Amino acid sequence: MIISCPCKKKNFQIDENLIPIEGRNLQCGSCGHVWFFKNEKKNLELKTEIFSNNEIENEEKNQKKVDIDKKDPPNKIISNTDKALVKYDQGPKITLTNLLGYMIVSILSFIALIILLDTFQIQLSSVFPNLELFLYNLYETLKDMSLFTKDLIK
């Protein structure tokens, strides 16, 4: 079943079995609007199985009178603590933990690249003629960086 948000920005494909006969609160993932949804078609199908046509008409009239007396809108929010069926993920937010994770993965990838280049140095020298010189300079730079950090720590 397709359910549309009252803001008309988003449509959601939701399994009919997830919405009980009484209805439930839904939350739009796009705008965050929370509304009460009741599947009228499902209720009418159940009513036709249980009641005769005259009883359904009488019940609908009585329901309209009750709604008018209560003056409650049909999309009233019952509770803000209800969980929505459809949640919209706004995308990844960069936190300190994510940033550190990205840095660690980048460093490990760089080390793996160096190991691969060093392992296949002879085979890759035909494609990259100055690979041996490049790796030598890279090793010397890494040694200098390690000596620099050791001096900073002392």
pLDDT, tens digit, 9 for 90 and up, residues 25-48: 777 777 777 777 777 665 555 555
Say whether pLDDT at 99 is over 50: yes
Number of structural domains (the chain) is 2
> Could you say which of 70, 86, 111 is where a domain stops?
70
CA distance 132 to 122: 9
Residue 36 belongs to what domain range? 2-70
Cα radius of gyration (the chain): 32
Which pTM value belongs to this model?
Answer: 0.39
Say whether pLDDT at 112 is over 50: yes
Q: Which of 61-65, 120-124, 131-135 has the lowest mean pLDDT?
A: 61-65
Tell me if 124 is assigned to some domain: yes
pLDDT grade for 115, boundaries at 50, 70 and 90: very high
Tell me if 81 is assigned to some domain: no
Tell me if 126 is assigned to some domain: yes
Tell me if 86 is assigned to some domain: no
CA 146 from centroid of its chain's CA atoms:
41
- Specify whether 16 is located in the same domain as 62: yes
CA distance 11 to 125: 57
